[in-house]
Structure 1
């Protein structure tokens, strides 16, 4: 089965949801039909839910998004202001960029720098710090949940990839590079067993870390699926992709 990466995003103002995919679609329907009630029916939502969404957007917006149209044969209605139309265009540009970003993740899952890769473990993270000395650079990588791992790559690789603090990168780890321990230490990832495939000499174990990452590991140690483990990867074994 082909895997596909999907996602949605929000624009927030004053720590409140301002614009999202559904709200933008609602605005488009209002602009099309000239009526909040007709737009709500088309969106299969209640009039109150539609009105509340419009009210929240208008209250958070720097300028009015909708304006009332004087009554006439149709009894009046609502239409987008020029500012509202501008917001929709800007949203569509952001949404297109976001789709391109998701597509780039799918492409990365297949190729890195034009070459197919065998490493199954790819973790999206952020560079917290870069420390270079004697042609080697140590990168501190921040994962979800405020957990960190480290990577050591050459200084020339940092320059060629134009890596800098706060960049989003992908940590690439081979299954054979993950060490499994029963005790905790600095830089270890607390994990739980999801599945085990037992071979003649090795076990193929899928772990889920406490912060939600899935890691595949090849190991020869005995694994109890009902207990927790701690995973560690040497910084030299963590590659970086962009």
Structure 2
């Protein structure tokens, strides 16, 4: 027994893009004819036009245009918006496929074990979640080093178990999320400081949210990425941290979790 699901996009609580309509749009793009497209799907000519009219009516921008007359006798074409919509749909479909694949991997329906599904809906308490692309995976005896490229020139390395790499199905080029607890990010104003930690991200303090004992320091590391560090008020005073201060956000590779 396995889990399967079709992807349907809704607009104004109405089915908008279904698998059959996608097939129709692809056939229109290929043939340039509503009649030929309907035969390829297959569906009746009337049903094809009803589907097109429904999509065009629901959309704020036309998806399909019908041209009449002209040198070639007219035809049916997709608008630029329609072509972009198809491209976006297939990107979503690939993510949908990965989601279903992951559901099947962590759920044993044959034994009736559904408890692991809760993992997918868990809210992560870690404050820092940064998107990156895997540049390289170096396997070790027990652990693997996963090198990620963030936006811009920033790069970080995560150390996770070999089994985690296998379970997540990680490969070079995959887009993943680096998850880091704010308490695991150390700050330094000494750019020449030598540390054993693999990761040091240069940034500028954007905000400091003061609490009774600790402060939340938000660091802009460039290209839209920000990390948050929790430090004591005593450290804030001793280091002279304030908005605009340049700092290094230091993170041990073993403190970076990977999500996909």
Say yes or no: TM over 0.5: yes
> For residues 26 and 115 of structure 1, do their structure 2 counterparts lie closer, same or farther at Cα, with a shift above 3 Å needed?
closer
Gaps of 5+ in 2: 1-58, 99-117, 193-197
Q: Structure 2 matches for 1:109-124, cutoff 5 A?
A: 113-124=120-131
Tell whether the 8 Å contact from 1:112 to 1:241 is kept in structure 2 after alignment: no
Matched, 1:198 2:205: no
Matched, 1:180 2:184: no
Number of the residue aligned with 1:155: 162
CA–CA distance in structure 2, aligned partners of residues 165 and 190 of structure 1: 25
Q: Normalized against structure 2, the TM-score is what? A: 0.56
Provide the aligned length of Structure 1 versus Structure 2.
171
Q: Normalized against structure 1, the TM-score is what? A: 0.60
Q: What is the DSSP-based 3-state SS (H/G/I as helix, E as strand, rest coil) of the residue aligned with 2:219?
A: strand
**How far off is 1:87 after superposition?**
7.9
Number of the residue aligned with 2:223: 211
Number of the residue aligned with 1:165: 172
**How far off is 1:88 after superposition?**
6.9
**How far off is 1:116 after superposition?**
2.1
Matched, 1:135 2:128: no
Q: What is the DSSP-based 3-state SS (H/G/I as helix, E as strand, rest coil) of the residue aligned with 1:144?
A: coil
Q: Which moved more, 1:171-180 or 1:223-232?
A: 223-232
Gaps of 5+ in 1: 1-23, 35-67, 72-77, 105-110
**How far off is 1:158 after superposition?**
0.5
CA–CA distance in structure 2, aligned partners of residues 80 and 184 of structure 1: 65
> For residues 79 and 207 of structure 1, do their structure 2 counterparts lie closer, same or farther at Cα, with a shift above 3 Å needed?
farther
**How far off is 1:138 after superposition?**
0.7
